[in-house]
Amino acid sequence: MFRLTDQAIDITAAAAALSDPHSGGFVEFRGCVRNHHHGRSVEQLHYSAYPALAITEGERILEEARQRYAIDAVACIHRTGDLQIGDTAVWVGVGAAHRDAAFAACRYVIDEVKRRLPVWKHERYLDGETQWVGCQGCADHGHDPRYDRQQRVPGVGEAGQQRLRQAHVAVVGVGALGCPVADLLAGAGVGRLTLIDPDRVELSNLHRQSLYAEADVGALKVDAARRRLLERNSSTVIDARPQALAAGNDTAWLDDADLVVDCSDDPASKQWVTHRARVSGRPCIVGGVHQLAGGLFVSPRQAQDGVCWACISAQGSDCGDQGVLGPTPAVIGAAMAGEALRRLIGLDSALAGRWTVLDFGSGQFQRFVPKQRKTCRCHQEADGRSDAVQRDRLDPALHWIDLREATERRLRPLPGAQPLAFDEAMAGRGLEPDQRYLLICTSGRRSEAVCHTLREQGFGQVWTLTGGVRALPDESTPLACSA
Amino acid sequence: MFRLTDQAIDITAAAAALSDPHSGGFVEFRGCVRNHHHGRSVEQLHYSAYPALAITEGERILEEARQRYAIDAVACIHRTGDLQIGDTAVWVGVGAAHRDAAFAACRYVIDEVKRRLPVWKHERYLDGETQWVGCQGCADHGHDPRYDRQQRVPGVGEAGQQRLRQAHVAVVGVGALGCPVADLLAGAGVGRLTLIDPDRVELSNLHRQSLYAEADVGALKVDAARRRLLERNSSTVIDARPQALAAGNDTAWLDDADLVVDCSDDPASKQWVTHRARVSGRPCIVGGVHQLAGGLFVSPRQAQDGVCWACISAQGSDCGDQGVLGPTPAVIGAAMAGEALRRLIGLDSALAGRWTVLDFGSGQFQRFVPKQRKTCRCHQEADGRSDAVQRDRLDPALHWIDLREATERRLRPLPGAQPLAFDEAMAGRGLEPDQRYLLICTSGRRSEAVCHTLREQGFGQVWTLTGGVRALPDESTPLACSA
Amino acid sequence: MIRVLYFAALADQAGRHEEWLTPEPSDTAQQLYERLAQQRGLRLSRRQLRVAINEQFADWSDVLRAGDQVAFLPPMSGG
Amino acid sequence: MIRVLYFAALADQAGRHEEWLTPEPSDTAQQLYERLAQQRGLRLSRRQLRVAINEQFADWSDVLRAGDQVAFLPPMSGG
């Protein structure tokens, strides 16, 4: 229940309305007119509002609180008109089974009300002057002492800070790697973060996922992370997307990001991100951990030198869902954040284009230049694009599987390829694990998804044509397959 | 104002008593009798107390809140006797100029009341059973799913988790290194942490000190860190010591720690910690950062192989108070936490006895065995103890400076040494920067403090006798100095 | 015609709480504000403001249509 | 003589809220509790408890003297 009123707020009645035998904790906040503001003596105060919008926005804030916290009841009343010293300007009340949720929700509502409710405060001081109170001194304007220490690093300065402020980074996965990455990027003043993760916080996450507290168990990770990040740096804009980044999903919105940091434990996501970086020239950073070791891959400055995740993982980096000590991903995540900041600021990096492995088990710390196209079959076939036109030159025992719809096939025929519906292919129907297949679709997304699924099912010799038929040398020419 | 009462709490009167024209924000918490507890239907509830102790402890909690937060008023009332569903069991009210302090103080009081106030809850359920509510199901008893993932790491298991639970780690400094260290140790289930730091949170800390939020600015770091760590893992016992770890201070309480992790930016503290580890055989981990590089030293398994910080820093590791990007200390801190966990659990470590440098600027990651006694003059003199008895064998141009009080000097004379008061020596009075001095006191603490102070003032050739005269070969023999 | 609402410091600077205007064809909220800022001497930069159209928060790039109610909102200071 | 106070679940287990005892010479709070735990069948381990002497929280290693009031405190559950 949200209300605007020009009468004194009846707190006793409002608090009584929250009562619920299910609730064990009630938190109330009252904002009152103080007798001072920035050192000046306040005599009187007037609140004006845009009522229609204020009521819509107030209700929206309460609804957000209900969605985000396990609470039984929440209410807020805001005054308008003339107020005297000591009068209550705003009241927020929350009831919940547990006090964690009650405190958090109450705090959320008052913070959002102050930030978003279209209400303006006009103060009259004892010396007769008056002033509209506003946030004129915010981070957009002038030097922010918060970033002093990092601006002193050679090559950063005001210009580097400005680049961070204007940057948009997509963080895929806010688990053990994503927590330090998002935390350090928000702390450093990166202007906009998009967090992508479908999971909810579990108790067994807490030892290694530093953005979450016990009170967050059960909440969506992207929501809990957003909340903590805003507490740490309220000037960050954070988009929370509770979904997976999979080849099949719509990911066009990712193109808005200047940099993608893949912190997921999903090889398909890593493959997609690295592939996209290589094709589009956008930078990416990808990490993984395994017990006491972890690694990070930073895409090279020149897109054509890029490798895909399949190249890297074919060289032995396995990020299984096994036991892990918290510090291992914390090290790798922090290193990924460091690379992200350097790339955004424009500093040199000795890790760009490298797969860097830090193994705290053996004490071996090494940088590799991942081998491109030679050992990665998936990549090799894809880069054999122009050769693929004469399939026999490439591999006569390779079966081409055409995953496109009939309408797509008519637009660009692929003679000699065997049509197979996407769903059938995902299920492995009509395919033999000991045969060799090149999967083809229009853009390469569907074929990539099928390729990874089949490999997980034990198909050892399937590859995808990266970029699909669109990436073939001349789209206007029907392919001549000599088989 | 703290009160125990067996009558219904008059909240309106209690809240009115907080009024103050200086206060802009009021936060109240009410804890009410719920109709359910761990899934069982509650019918009635009885609170018994130890009144004399409860009142003392309640007042102490309120006083702590006043000390810790910038608040105008705080009060708490706790019920005793029989209560019905919906009755208020406890009420806390806080008034402050700013809402941050009001929320934080209210939260502090209710959390401490629940933990420390000698009051016990007896519940009667609808099924007729009764039960004293307590923390019987706490982490001491049985398997905690929270640690599942780390227990799966080979060598950890239940036994390793138990070792962590029983361990006590002192974290010296909760800045950019100490934040990830304390966070990862608490997350991993280390039973007890002592946090030592004299500083308060500043806005310019936030970008790299992940335990603090904007609302913590102005609070003692040890308090703000404790609060966040308890949100992350409420079963951790955390002692907050708002002081520096300096050679002059009383540090006997440190002997209770199983492991000391030095995250300070203070060379004197690092010197003291490493020295103590070498002499006492207790393990320590020490870290430092410099722009894009950082390093950590892990004491060796065998104390006699230890080196002191002066050995290490003489080899070029400088942790100046210069610019820093957040990720650098985050990497080093996480690596330190990993080493701490491995040492406590009893796992092998490839980093023990090594100075490990991770330089993200150059991409060089290396482990060194720090040279012992050879390049470190400070250490060399100390290990030349028995030689020091014949000073001329060591260095005839070395002036011995005796920093002890007259009474100490009488107990163990040091012929040929020049007495100099501690304060004079700290100020460099009576000493020449181009002369060579060996500083001596009873235990080696004062001489170490003076040594570091003088070196900072540009004295290039001063050394300390580690362990002081107590460490000399035979305490009963007066030293025979042949100079 | 569209109706323009000014609040708080903006109303003081504009010397009015509202006015009726005819927008240019395919005028965006941003173009309208920048023109009005010049005409009325509004001293708050667009980056400090939010815009609402028909009682909903809107984007600066939204195109205005006849009958719209446009509100320019200075930094809020409730609570 | 010293006075021993039991609270909550401990009082149930001890079958009493208080009793008067003569301590052994140089008995610590810990030694007293361990002896009483055996005699009275107290099932809470010392690690779960806190001890107060003369209405102040105390250490388990504190030595008891004639006239002391010793209280054993189970895990608290106020609020």
- Judged by average pLDDT, the poorest of A114-128, A434-448, B33-47, B459-473 is B459-473
DSSP-derived letter for residue A205 is: G
Q: Kindly report, residue by residue over A165-175, the tens digit of the pLDDT.
A: 889 999 999 99
A432 and A301: one domain? no
Could you report the per-residue pLDDT of C13-55, keeping only the tens digit for each? Answer: 999 999 999 988 889 999 999 999 999 999 888 877 889 999 9
Residue whose entry in the numeric block shows the structure tokens 């002492």: A145
Residue A14: what pLDDT?
A: 95
Residue D8 parent element (H or E)? helix D8-14
Neighbors of chain D with 3 or more C-beta pairs under 8 Å = B
> Looking at the domain assignment, is residue A150 inside a domain?
no
The whole domain housing B16 covers 2-143
Task: Give, in order, the Cα–Cα distances in Å from A7 to each of A79, A88, A121, A443, B436.
Answer: 7, 10, 16, 62, 80
**Is pLDDT above 50 for D68?**
yes
> Is any Cβ of chain C less than 8 angstroms from the Cβ of A435?
no
Residue A153 maps to a domain: no
> Tokens representing A372?
């491109």
Residue A381 or residue B430, greater confidence? B430
How much is the average pLDDT of B375-402? 51
**Candidate from D5, D12, D78 with C-beta closest to B90:** D78
Nearest to A25 among B22, B29, B215 (CB): B29
Q: What is the mean pLDDT of residues A280-301?
A: 87
Interface residue A117 vs chain C (CB under 8 A): yes
Chain-centroid distance of CA A420 in Å reads: 35
Distances (CA, A) of B302 to B279, B306, B307, B349, B371: 11, 7, 11, 13, 15
Of A148, A150, A327, the CB nearest to B337: A327
User: Looking at CA atoms only, how far is residue A184 from chain B in angstroms?
Assistant: 6
Q: State residue C64's pLDDT score.
A: 94
pLDDT, mean of residues B49-53: 94
pLDDT at B251 over 80: no
Q: Residue A450: what pLDDT?
A: 85
Model confidence pLDDT, tens digit, residues A52-109: 999 999 999 999 889 878 899 999 999 999 999 999 999 999 999 988 889 989 988 9
Q: Are residues A122 and A34 in the same domain?
A: yes
Instruction: Give the separation between CA B95 and CA B105, rounded to whole angstroms.
Output: 9
* pLDDT cut 90: percent of chain B above it: 40
- Name which residue leads in pLDDT, A15 or A134: A15
User: If pLDDT is split at 50, 70 and 90, which confidence band does B387 have?
Assistant: very low
Residue A139 is predicted with a pLDDT of 38
End-to-end CA distance of chain A: 71
Contacts of C74 in chain A (CB under 8 A): 120, 132, 134
Q: Which segment, A298-307, B348-357, C31-40, is predicted with the most confidence on average?
A: C31-40
| Whether residue B81 sits in one domain with residue B183 | no
Touching, C vs D (3+ Cβ pairs under 8 A): no
- Per-residue pLDDT at A41 exceeds 60: yes
Please give, one letter per residue, the 3-state secondary structure of chain B: CEEEECCCCCHHHHHHCCCCCCCCEEEEEEEECCCEECCEEEEEEEEEECHHHHHHHHHHHHHHHHHHCCCCEEEEEEECEEEECCCEEEEEEEEECCHHHHHHHHHHHHHHHHHHCCEEEEEEECCCCEEEECCCCCCCCCCCHHHHHHHCCCCCHHHHHHHHHCCEEEEECCCCCHHHHHHHHHHHCCCEEEEECCCECCHHHCCCCCCCCHHHCCCEHHHHHHHHHHHHCCCCEEEEECCCCCCCCCCHHHHHCCEEEECCCCHHHHHHHHHHHHHHCCCEEEEEEEECEEEEEECCCCHHHCCCHHHHHHCCCCCCCCCECCHHHHHHHHHHHHHHHHHHHCCCCCCECCEEEEECCCCEEEEECCCCCCCCHHHHHHHCHHHHCCHHHHCCCEEEEECCCHHHHHHCCCCCCEECCHHHHHCCCCCCCCCEEEEECCCCHHHHHHHHHHHHCCCCCEEECCCCHHHCCCCCCCCCCCC
A231 CA: distance to closest CA in chain B (Å): 5
Q: Which structure tokens are listed for D75?
A: 């895990």
Q: Which stretch of DSSP H or E encloses residue A134?
A: none
Rounded to an integer, the average pLDDT of B172-178 is 96
Which position has the higher pLDDT, B104 or B379?
A: B104
**pLDDT given for residue A389 in this prediction:** 35
pLDDT (tens digit, 9 = 90+) per residue, B111-135? 889 888 999 999 888 888 888 886 4
What's the whole-number mean pLDDT along residues A299-320?
A: 67
- Decide if pLDDT at B406 tops 70: yes
Q: Is B481 a member of any domain?
A: no
Residue B151 lies in a domain: no
User: In this model, does residue B376 exceed pLDDT 50?
Assistant: no
Q: Does B398 score more than 80 pLDDT?
A: no
pLDDT digits (tens, 9 = 90+) for B77-121: 999 999 999 999 999 999 999 888 899 899 889 988 988 899 999
Residue of B196, B200, B278 lying closest to B241 (CA atoms): B196
Q: ipTM for the complex?
A: 0.59
Identify the pLDDT of residue A9: 95
pTM: 0.59
User: Is C17:C29 a contact under the CB 8 Å cutoff?
Assistant: no
pLDDT band for position B49 (cuts 50, 70, 90): very high
Contact between B50 and B118 (Cβ < 8 Å): yes
CA gap C50, B198 in Å, rounded: 43
pLDDT 10s digits, A225-262: 998 999 899 888 888 888 887 655 556 667 778 999 99
pLDDT value of residue A384: 39
Interval B204-218 mean pLDDT: 91
Residue B28: inside a domain = yes
Which residues in chain B touch residue D73, judged by CB atoms under 8 angstroms apart?
Answer: 50, 118
Residues B364 and B446 occupy one common structural domain: no
The amino acid present at A62, given as its one-letter code, is L
In A291-345, DSSP assigns E strands to 293-298
Question: Does residue A291 share a domain with residue A200?
Answer: yes
**Residue where a domain stops, chosen among B143, B172, B188:** B143
Q: Is residue B361 part of a domain?
A: yes
- Name the minimum distance, in Å, from the CA of A59 to any CA of chain B: 22
Domain check: are A358 and A395 in the same one?
A: no
State chain B's mean pLDDT as an integer: 83
**Residues A189, A317: one domain?**
yes
CATH number at residue A44: 3.90.1170.40
Lowest average pLDDT, out of A46-50, A350-354, A451-455, B304-308, goes to: B304-308
The residue out of B113, B143, B173 marking a domain boundary is B143
**Phi and psi angles of residue B399, each rounded to the nearest 5 degrees, phi first:** -90, 130
Q: Region B151-159: what's the mean pLDDT?
A: 86
Q: Which residue has the tokens 């020295």?
A: B275
User: Looking at the structure, do residues B199 and B118 belong to the same domain, yes or no?
Assistant: no
Q: Which two structure tokens, joined as six digits, stand for B254?
A: 């440190």
Number of H helices, E strands in chain D: 2, 5
Our CA angle for A323, A328, A332, nearest 5°, is 130
Share of chain A above pLDDT 70, in %: 86
B130 close to D (CB below 8 A)? no
Residues A135 and A166 in one domain: no
pLDDT, tens only, A419-472: 998 888 888 888 988 888 888 888 777 888 788 778 877 887 888 887 777 766
The CATH number that applies at residue A451 is 3.40.250.10
Cβ pair B337:A330 closer than 8 A: yes
Q: How far away is chain A from the Cα of B280, in angstroms, using its nearest Cα?
A: 26
CB pairs below 8 Å between A and C: how many?
Answer: 75
- Chains touching chain A through at least 3 C-beta pairs below 8 angstroms are B, C
Question: How much of chain A exceeds pLDDT 90, in percent?
Answer: 39
Is A132 strand, coil or helix? strand
Q: A451 with A377: CB under 8 angstroms?
A: no
Shortest CA distance from C8: residue in chain A: A120
- Measure the CA–CA gap between C36 and A467, rounded to whole angstroms: 49
> Total domain count for chain A?
3
Residue C4 DSSP one-character state: E
Determine the average pLDDT of the residues in A377-384.
44
Q: Which amino acid is at A15?
A: A
Residue range B219-237: mean pLDDT, rounded: 91
Contact B221, B200 (CB under 8 A): yes
Inter-chain touch D77–B78, beta carbons under 8 Å? no
**CATH number (domain holding residue B320):** 3.40.50.720
Q: Which domains does chain D have, with CATH numbers?
A: 2-73 (3.10.20.30)
In a domain, B455, yes or no: yes
Mutation target vs C (from A2, A50, A56; most C CBs, 10 A cutoff): A50
- CA dihedral of residues A363, A367, A371, A372 (deg, nearest 10): 140
Same domain, B49 and B176: no
Any domain includes B355: yes
Q: Report CB contact under 8 Å: D78, B122.
A: no
Are the C-beta atoms of residues A197 and A238 closer than 8 Å to each other? no
Q: Which residue(s) pair with B67 in the sheet?
A: none
Residues B165 and B239 in one domain: yes
Chains A and C touch (3+ CB pairs under 8 A): yes
Is B338 in the same domain as B414? no
Confidence (pLDDT) at B252: 65
Please give the average per-residue pLDDT across D60-68, as a whole number.
Answer: 91
Distance (Å, rounded) from C-alpha B174 to C-alpha A279?
44
